[in-house]
Amino acid sequence: MSEEALRQQIQNLKKHNARLKRIAHDARNKLSAALDGTGLCLWQLDIPSGKLVIFNRRWGSMLGFQPKETKAQFEVWRERLHPEDADEVLRAFYDHIEGRAPYYEALHRMLGKNDKITWVLDRGRVTEWDEEGNPLKVTGTHIDMTKEKQYEAQLSSLAHHDPLTGLTNRHALQTHFSKMKTQGPLCVAFIDLDNFKHVNDTLGHRSGDEVLIQLSQRILDQVPPNVVVGRLGGDEFVLLMPFLIDFPKVRIMMQSVLDAALTPFDVDNGHAHIGASIGVATVQPHFSFDEALTRADEAMYQIKKNGKQGFGLAG
């Protein structure tokens, strides 16, 4: 082959190589765009070196890191696993690497920049082995699940908490009641507000809602952490107290809650004045939640009947 023919062949090979690079680059861009559109990030781990190759996103971007702020290395990923999830995630990973599971999958938390928590769904599978059957490369995807987990938490909160005050709702009160009844003495307080209708009629329902929100916080401030505070709806509240009814703290708490209701409330268009009538009843072993509530309601009604703004105990 002449020198000119060799030079021409080299030139043709260079053009062909450049064309293949353009095709590969274009295919990679299309793959990146497609994956980014689904929220998936494609990764590959070289097991011997621990190097991570991220095909369509910067590694660490979902954790809030800027380019070159963190390294794409297995050790860095492992260090960023949430301490409460790390053992389970690594167990799932090595179960697959060592042949005990057909693939790797884990939904877990990672610590991002400034320890901000990000939920991630990881999936992967060994895609290359050496001649002795040892795994060399793992290819997989991860997807940011933080918004989904936040939405899930919000749904759970709505299912167990009053949307206005954030207190425990009736459904959750019943669950707490069933559990607390098996753990020791229990008494229930039924709180019905006095003159609350007057607040709604004169200051408006928005001010009435503000009173309920403020009172809820005041009640929480007056009771110990082991007392469950709930709202049934309207102006009716319930306390589940893990004490004997003649325990001195019960009377002290009821007086504090009463004082909290009697203290005027500052709202946008004035001052609201209410009171409270409170009935407390002992929970007998055979009582259902509704039966215990009825006993406390009967004790509360006696306070209403005798002039309101007080509390009464029914053993």
The residues annotated with a catalytic role in the active site are 235
Strands 135-144 and 270-272: unpaired
Gap between the Cα atoms of 266 and 258, Å rounded: 17
Cα separations (Å) of 86 from 93, 109, 135, 210, 304? 10, 9, 22, 43, 57
Gap between the Cα atoms of 108 and 86, Å rounded: 8
Of 256, 230, 123, whose CA–CA distance to 177 is shortest? 230
